[in-house]
Every structure is written in structure tokens, then in C-alpha cells.
Structure 1
């Protein structure tokens, strides 16, 4: 797989995303459903936003690794959340995870009215191999 990042500007670098990612000759593409802070028993978290972000990232990683893909090859990460102020107060968790895993992805961040039950954040990813 060949991956090329396209950034005509520099300002997005501080926000941990890129404007476009071109992928050539992939072996496969994994489309991951929105992952949330749901336990292994299917119970939705009622924890605060920060705790749910950590749990959501853990669940996203489980799906990607169980599929024999690499976290660093996420090329699209959509973030759905129920409260912009709460998300951005805790956005350092996501930024540190992206940096640690050397992820360079396109993203959409979107506030929604509600998520399932008591959930506050959902991560949807596209990963290439």
C-alpha cells in the first residue's frame, strides 16, 4: 500500500488531521462502524466524556486489531459527539492517541443531538492495508 498525505496549508497540523489521503495499491480496506463506550457485555457507559473517549478508543482499537489491520493506517476518523464544549475540553486524549500511533487521517467532527442511551462520543474509522 502507498499512502500520500495532501495538505495545501499548515494550519491543520495543530489539529491532528490532514486535508486528504490518497491510497494506492491497497490490499484491503476496513470500514469500521461507529465505536462507543460500550462494555464487552453490551452495557452503555454513563461515565463522563473523558472516560468515554478512552473507552471508545479502546473499543475502536479492538475491532481494528481483531481484523489484522494496523491502528496507524486509519485514513478517515469521524467523531460524533453530544457536546462540543465537553469534547474539546478533553480533545487532548484524542490528539495524544493520534500522535502516539502516527495516524494521519481525514476527519469530520460533528455534534449530534443524541447517541444511543447514555453515550457521549462515537468514533467511525476507515483503515487500509
Structure 2
């Protein structure tokens, strides 16, 4: 798999994403449904944003690993949140996770009216190998 990032500017570098990612010669593509702070028994979290974000990342990694892919090969990450202002103080968690895996992904952050039950954040990814 070959990956090429496209960044006509430099400002996105401080925000841990790329404007575009081109993939060539991929062996496979994994489209991961939105992962949230739901435990192994299917119970939605009522915890704070930080706790929900950490569990959503863990759940996303679990799906990716279970499919035989690697988090470092996420090329598209969509983040949905019910409260951007509540998410921002914890965005360093996302940035550290991206840095840890040396990801090169495009990213979209969207505030939505609501998510399933008591959930505050959802992560949706496209992964290649």
C-alpha cells in the first residue's frame, strides 16, 4: 500500500490531520462504523466526555485489530460529538493517539444534536492495508 498526503498549507500540522490522503495499491479497505463508549455488554456510558472519548478510541482500536488491520493505517477519521466545547479540552487525547500510531489521516469533526442514548462522542474510520 502506498499513501500520499496532500497539504497545500502548514496550519493543519498543529491540528494532527491532513487535508487529503491518497491511497494506491491497497490490499483491502475497512470501513468502521462509528465507535462509541459502549461497554462489552452493550451498555452506553453515562460518564464524562474524557472517559467516553478514551473508551471510544479503545473500541475503535479493538474493531480495527480484530479485522487484522492497524490503527496507523487509518486514512479517514470522522469525529461526531454532541458538545464541541466539551470535547476540545480533551482533544490532546486524540492528538496523542494519532501521534502514537504515526497516523496520516484526513479528519472531520462535526457537532451533532444527539448520539445514541447517553453518548457524547463517536469515532468513524476508514482503514487500509
Assess same fold via TM > 0.5: yes
CA apart distance, 1:40: 0.4
The residue correspondences of 1:51-90 to structure 2 (distance < 5 A) are: 51-90=51-90
Deviation track 1:67-110 (CA, whole Å, cap 9, x = no partner) reads 00011000000000000111111101101100111011101100
Measured in 1, the distance between the counterparts of 2:121 and 2:104 equals 20
Deviation track 1:47-85 (CA, whole Å, cap 9, x = no partner) reads 000000000000000000000001100000000000011
Aligned to 1:14: 14
Aligned to 2:113: 113
Measured in 1, the distance between the counterparts of 2:96 and 2:26 equals 27
Aligned to 1:93: 93
Q: TM-score, normalised by structure 1?
A: 0.99
Aligned to 1:2: 2
Measured in 1, the distance between the counterparts of 2:29 and 2:85 equals 33
Q: Number of aligned residue pairs: give it.
A: 129
CA apart distance, 1:17: 0.3
Unpaired segments of 5 or more residues in structure 2? Answer: none
| CA RMSD, 1 decimal | 0.4
Unpaired segments of 5 or more residues in structure 1? Answer: none
Q: TM-score, normalised by structure 2?
A: 0.99
Structure 1 runs (4+) deviating above 6 angstroms are: none
